[in-house]
Amino acid sequence: MQTSIIGHQQIVEQLQRTVASDRIAGAYLFVGPKGVGKERVAHHFAQLIFCQQDTQPPTVCGTCLACRKADSGNHPDLQLIRPEGSLLRIGQIRQLQKQIIYEPLEASRKVYILTDVERMNAEAENCLLKTLEEPPASSVLILLTSNIEALLPTTRSRCQILQFHPMPTRELAEVLTDQFSVAPEQATTLAIAAGGAIGKALTQLEKGGTFTEEVPEILKETDLLAAFRLAENLKDNPEILDELVTWYRDLLFLQQGAPNELITHIHSLEELQRIAPYYSRLRIQQAIQIIFSTKSLLENTNTNATLALEVMCLKLLK
């Protein structure tokens, strides 16, 4: 496993300083889109704490026993807690609370990484709050979320919040080319489709780097139900908004006779070519504009998300 982190340089340096000065907080909340690298950085943070190579600033050597145990998922003081099915359950939180009171076995601290914490119900979150209010001195909780709004203000205020941003797509494309031997054209396509989230790009690459997703029905349908289905889907997966833009952009490129290298969804080229004549250039530009303004509305205001998405999808309908 690689011992360096791609992107998030400032966050990693901040965590190094935290470990160097031994001013580690009891709880952290890593906020950022899915696949952006929150879990990688959380794991790296744990290793900065565990690594037996005493360097300044602290680094992750990747070869000492502690590093190797953490990499293989066998470090007794590192626990990764993921939702069971769709929810992070109260039983999992109670289990954590039973264990966290004990001293670490090998490291100076025990590290608990909880992924997708927005998927807790109120009961589980209130249970977790008890630990966040008084975390044992020898433990660190790292909560990861792509939707901070779904958490109680009290949960947020108990944690040190670190914000993770996607990489600029050009930068991500370079990383994919330089470090993962992806051909430059494909790297750009991948980076755009992943919205700058490296984890997403790498997952796609593992699947063979092909884009097998289907053309969203909103591009082809005139049916009201299609609009509501998309709105419903977007409510749970807001990151699809970025993806949706890439489809409209493909239509725009096709209309302008742009070379195929610029087409993100090259595997759906034929279908897109069939659809493109039904759109005017103005309509595609309007569609992209509508998506961007909805995205900004959702991110910057307390607007009713369901309503905003439904309005957007109806506007997108032909």
Q: Which of 11, 51, 172, 244 binds Zn ion (CB under 5 A)?
A: 51
Peptide bond into 33 cis (omega under 30): no
The piece of 48-56, 72-80, 105-113, 246-254 that touches Zn ion (CB under 5 A) is: 48-56
Residues 6+ apart with CB under 8 A from 271: 215
Identity of the residue, 67 or 144, whose beta carbon is nearer to Zn ion in the bound complex:
67
Among 52-60, 77-85, 289-297, 299-307, the segment contacting Zn ion (CB under 5 A): 52-60
d(CA 268, CA 211): 8
Q: How far apart are CA 135 and CA 271, in angstroms?
A: 55
**Residue nearer to Zn ion on the CB measure, 67 or 114:** 67
Separation of alpha carbons 281 and 251, rounded Å: 9
Closest CA to 82 of 49, 43, 112: 112
Cβ neighbours of residue 60 closer than 8 Å, sequence gap 6 or more: 3, 44, 47, 48, 51, 67
**Element spanning 110, H or E:** strand 110-114
- Alpha carbons within 13 A on the beta-carbon side of 193: 25
Among positions 151-180, residues that touch Zn ion (CB under 5 A) are: none
Q: Which stretch binds Zn ion (CB under 5 A): 18-26, 45-53, 246-254, 279-287?
A: 45-53
Q: Of 51 and 190, which has the nearer Cβ to Zn ion?
A: 51
The reply on whether position 49 binds Zn ion by CB under 5 A is no
CB of 107 to Zn ion, least distance (A): 11
List the x/- string, 57-96, binding to Zn ion by CB under 5 A.
Answer: ----x--x--x-----------------------------
By CB under 5 A, which span of 46-54, 116-124, 169-177, 261-269 interacts with Zn ion? 46-54
Point out which residues pair with 30 in neighbouring strands: 144, 162
Which chain residues interact with Zn ion by CB under 5 A?
Answer: 51, 53, 61, 64, 67
